[in-house]
Structure 1
Amino acid sequence: MSSTSIDLFDPDIQRCPWEAYRSLRKNAPIYRMEPSGIYLITSYALCEEVIRQPDLFISGVSPMALRPGGVPEEVLRQYTDHGWLPRASCSTSDPPEHTRVRDFLQPLFTAKRIRAYEPRIREIAESLAGQLKPGMSEDFVALFSHPLPMQVIADLLGVPDGDLGQFKVWSDAIVEPFSMMISEAREVECAALVVEMQHYFKNLLEQRLAEPQDDMLTEVAQAGEGNDGFNLEEQLTILTIDLLASGNETTTAAISSGMHLLCQSPDLVGELQGSPDKLRNFCEEAMRLESPAQGMFRQVTRKTELGGVTLNEGDLLNLRFGAANRDESRYDRSEELVLDRPKPGQHLAFGTGRHVCVGAALARAEMQLAFQALLQRFNRFELAPDHEPPAITPSFFGRNIECLHIIAT
């Protein structure tokens, strides 16, 4: 594939971007993609160089605003007339806003706190694994990889179990616009759904202020008090984007991709069952190879040079974590799942530096406990022969398997 013709907005390339990434790393690791003008950064070293300079390459870029014409007026009206205009999320903001939100979020996801919650994650994983019928063709995404992180984050937030079905609709409505590949009509529809969710959480925040509980909703509600507290727009952004959407969509993608890898390499199941200590390495390698967040934006704040290429103020970069994580100059056998890889957690699936994923410890725990439960119950996983190969949701941002029909025995 010629690097002069690569357009990552092409769904056909997104289904299997690895050849395109190889070509870019070899021929043009800093590649200006036309007609968008976005620079794709595909080598590990160059991504790391950008991340090390967060004030030169800032994160305050809204993917939704990059579409031609910007955010549609009707989308803005949905928020301003019926709800609250979302603020920049933790991952798409810069200091001082970023620092303020991150300082609130970090204590919610400490290693100590996640360890204390692991028995509940294990309970959810074992319950969902028990619902998979041996020998039957079933959609793994619908039955396992989507409900697990959704139940976990809903449980941590403290929302009623009966509302989980609606959470899927709302969560999709938050994430889809970030794909940069949906119609304007769908974008308006998504905005209306997000407004529904805003009112839902506003009511819960008011309830928690009146009757505090031991959950994250109470902590967000109480963080809105005082002169320095978060206003309602900020509270709703933290709940809907930083906690709900960020807390389940990428984890769902990671678990789905991990199962797809097990189906493609049946010998891995026996190896992991025989050496349970390798399960952590399997999860890290699955995240490295598949990178649920394929790319994140940065914007140049002043004229500079990167890898011999001159960049001007305002230029947009997209750090392609999915390409950097398979960089042959960084990893031996870079496109293989290697269970005994030294330091398996050294990848960019969670980002690094100032914007490293604040929920990484929770995502890792969910993924490891998910596969632990599955490997204890089943000895083999295969793709169901009566279904098409797994479809990838068209998205410039993420890599999500829409459905994954498997047979577990």
Structure 2
Amino acid sequence: MSAADIAFDPHDPRFASEGVPFDKLARIRCEAPVFRTPAGAWYLSRFDDVAAALTDVDTFRADLGPITGLPGGVETIPAEQHYLSEIEEPRHKAIRRLLTAAMSSARLRQIEPLIAAECHRLIDAMLASRPANLHDDYAMAIPAFAMARIMALDEAAAQAFMVWSWDGTLMQRPATPGVPPGGPASHIFFRDYLAQQRAMATPSNDLMALMLAAEVEGAPLSDAEIITQLHFLIQAGVHTTRSLLAHLVNRLVQDAALWATLQADRALVPTFVEESLRRDSPVQRTTRRCVRETNIRGITLPAGAWVEMGIGSANHDEAVFDEGRDFRLDRAEPRRHLAFGAGSHVCPGAALARMEAQVAVTALLDRLERMEPVAGATYPPLPGSLGHQPIPAILVAR
């Protein structure tokens, strides 16, 4: 069947302010699950198709070239500037192992109390503000703080991470047209940071110790490779986690009944986080490139075709989720979603993001009687993708 009469562009910037048109996506899933976008890419909308494609990294290669200003894709980008998700096997697995080891469960246990203390410090500051802005003063600050601690960096670094998340430079590489000769601000920062770490008798943290000692395919990582992956950690670990936290607090401000439910039963906080990841997926779609010709639901996708993985649509798929448009805390498998991807390229920082989210929500519940929306304020839609809209609230202490 055809859905030629459905106007849908997965890159439409209005989604951040007007909301994702899930009614259109429901039609696409039903009538044209492999949907041709206005730009000529193929949009996968159903859960099973997106999960299978994300898992099949030999056919569908991650390619963030276009969103970093390089429409030719990874083939036109120097290899040392490829983000982790764009690196092919077996090199991807070897570098990924370094990053996941630096964010082990033991390391997360070490930094969890630090993140909790930071959440309480941020709440103290917000209680002195009327209204508070839960986006700028909470959701944006927590992942920047967490990633700075992973890298044994200070508050100034966390502030820089927030600036890059805000100004869009995290979506740039040295090869991006118009970028200064020294590269994006993050690359300049991490070049200095790497030089300092190399000058130490012992690196200051597990991440740098692992990356500096590693040999991948018989050779150490180059400085350019290390800097690219540090940049990628901020892109993936600050930029998108900010969106997750913004969705969580936005929903809590707007839903007093949900707030009361969580206050009465803190054991539901992890489920709340998972349902937000599913229903309000922080990343609504991600781009892949067909490495070889393949067929999905009778449609041939040629080698070189751009493919949009409709994560947000998949997480609403009626074939998998009863009442997928609804926000529910009683789902039998709350972690059954694609917010972190799937397969061997699933987000390496998923455990860190989950921990930050649960700690941030618990701190609010511990400290506040309620959060009141501000009369007359306009709130971001749910989901609002990676928008920067304020989330104003009156915080009432317990």
What's the TM-score, normalizing by structure 1?
0.85
In the other structure, the counterpart of 1:253 is: 243
What SS does structure 2 have at the residue aligned with 1:400?
Answer: coil
What SS does structure 2 have at the residue aligned with 1:204?
Answer: helix
In the other structure, the counterpart of 1:157 is: 151
Q: Give percent identity, aligned residues only.
A: 26
Query: Does residue 237 of structure 1 match 2:224?
Result: no
1:399 to 379, 383, 386: 386
1:175 to 144, 167, 170: 170
What amino acid is aligned across from residue 65 of structure 2 in structure 1?
S
User: Which stretch shifts more, 290-299 or 13-22?
Assistant: 13-22
In the other structure, the counterpart of 2:8 is: 6
Q: CA deviation at 1:16?
A: 1.3
Q: CA deviation at 1:260?
A: 1.3
1:99 to 93, 96, 108: 93
CA contact (8 A) 2:169 2:184 kept: no
CA contact (8 A) 2:10 2:285 kept: no
What SS does structure 1 have at the residue aligned with 2:132?
Answer: strand
Query: Does residue 284 of structure 1 match 2:274?
Result: yes
1:111 to 85, 102, 105: 105
Counterparts of 1:381 and 1:58, CA distance in 2: 43
Judging changes above 3 Å, is the alpha-carbon distance between structure 1 residues 48 and 162 closer, same or farther for their aligned structure 2 residues?
closer
Counterparts of 1:24 and 1:389, CA distance in 2: 28
Counterparts of 2:207 and 2:288, CA distance in 1: 31
What SS does structure 2 have at the residue aligned with 1:302?
Answer: coil
Counterparts of 1:3 and 1:322, CA distance in 2: 21
In the other structure, the counterpart of 1:49 is: 52
Aligned residues: 386
What SS does structure 1 have at the residue aligned with 2:35?
Answer: strand
What amino acid is aligned across from residue 32 of structure 2 in structure 1?
A
Query: Does residue 29 of structure 1 match 2:28?
Result: no
CA contact (8 A) 1:121 1:366 kept: yes
Q: CA deviation at 1:118?
A: 1.4
In the other structure, the counterpart of 1:183 is: none
In the other structure, the counterpart of 1:319 is: 309
In the other structure, the counterpart of 2:199 is: 210
The superposition leaves residues 157-183 of structure 1 with CA deviations (integer Å, 9 ceiling, x where unpaired) of 1223234333322344343459xxxxx
2:126 to 132, 138, 141: 132
Q: CA deviation at 1:189?
A: 6.3
In the other structure, the counterpart of 1:332 is: 322
What SS does structure 2 have at the residue aligned with 1:347?
Answer: coil
Judging changes above 3 Å, is the alpha-carbon distance between structure 1 residues 69 and 221 closer, same or farther for their aligned structure 2 residues?
closer
Query: Does residue 343 of structure 1 match 2:361?
Result: no
What amino acid is aligned across from residue 243 of structure 2 in structure 1?
A
| Cα RMSD after superposing both structures | 2.9
Q: CA deviation at 1:86?
A: 5.9
What amino acid is aligned across from residue 346 of structure 1 in structure 2?
R
In the other structure, the counterpart of 1:196 is: 185
What amino acid is aligned across from residue 124 of structure 2 in structure 1?
G
What amino acid is aligned across from residue 362 of structure 2 in structure 1?
Q
Counterparts of 2:117 and 2:181, CA distance in 1: 34
Counterparts of 2:382 and 2:181, CA distance in 1: 25
What SS does structure 1 have at the residue aligned with 2:14?
Answer: helix
1:354 to 344, 356, 369: 344
What SS does structure 2 have at the residue aligned with 1:234?
Answer: helix
In the other structure, the counterpart of 1:182 is: none
User: Which stretch shifts more, 142-151 or 13-22?
Assistant: 13-22
What amino acid is aligned across from residue 296 of structure 2 in structure 1?
L
Counterparts of 1:38 and 1:283, CA distance in 2: 32
What SS does structure 1 have at the residue aligned with 2:168?
Answer: helix
The superposition leaves residues 294-349 of structure 1 with CA deviations (integer Å, 9 ceiling, x where unpaired) of 11122222222101212111111110111111111111121112112112011100
Counterparts of 1:193 and 1:377, CA distance in 2: 45
Q: CA deviation at 1:26?
A: 2.0
What SS does structure 1 have at the residue aligned with 2:340?
Answer: coil
Unaligned runs of 5+ in 2: none
CA contact (8 A) 2:19 2:383 kept: no
The superposition leaves residues 192-244 of structure 1 with CA deviations (integer Å, 9 ceiling, x where unpaired) of 78533323222222222222344246326623689621101101011111x22
What amino acid is aligned across from residue 41 of structure 2 in structure 1?
I
Query: Does residue 408 of structure 1 match 2:395?
Result: yes
The superposition leaves residues 138-174 of structure 1 with CA deviations (integer Å, 9 ceiling, x where unpaired) of 2111110111110110111122323433332234434
Counterparts of 2:112 and 2:68, CA distance in 1: 38
CA contact (8 A) 1:13 1:20 kept: no
Counterparts of 1:224 and 1:55, CA distance in 2: 25
What SS does structure 1 have at the residue aligned with 2:247?
Answer: helix
Judging changes above 3 Å, is the alpha-carbon distance between structure 1 residues 191 and 352 closer, same or farther for their aligned structure 2 residues?
farther
What amino acid is aligned across from residue 37 of structure 1 in structure 2?
G
Unaligned runs of 5+ in 1: 77-83, 179-186
Query: Does residue 62 of structure 1 match 2:65?
Result: yes
What's the TM-score, normalizing by structure 2?
0.87
Counterparts of 2:326 and 2:225, CA distance in 1: 42
In the other structure, the counterpart of 1:267 is: 257
In the other structure, the counterpart of 1:143 is: 137
In the other structure, the counterpart of 1:20 is: 24
Counterparts of 2:92 and 2:57, CA distance in 1: 12
Q: CA deviation at 1:188?
A: 5.5
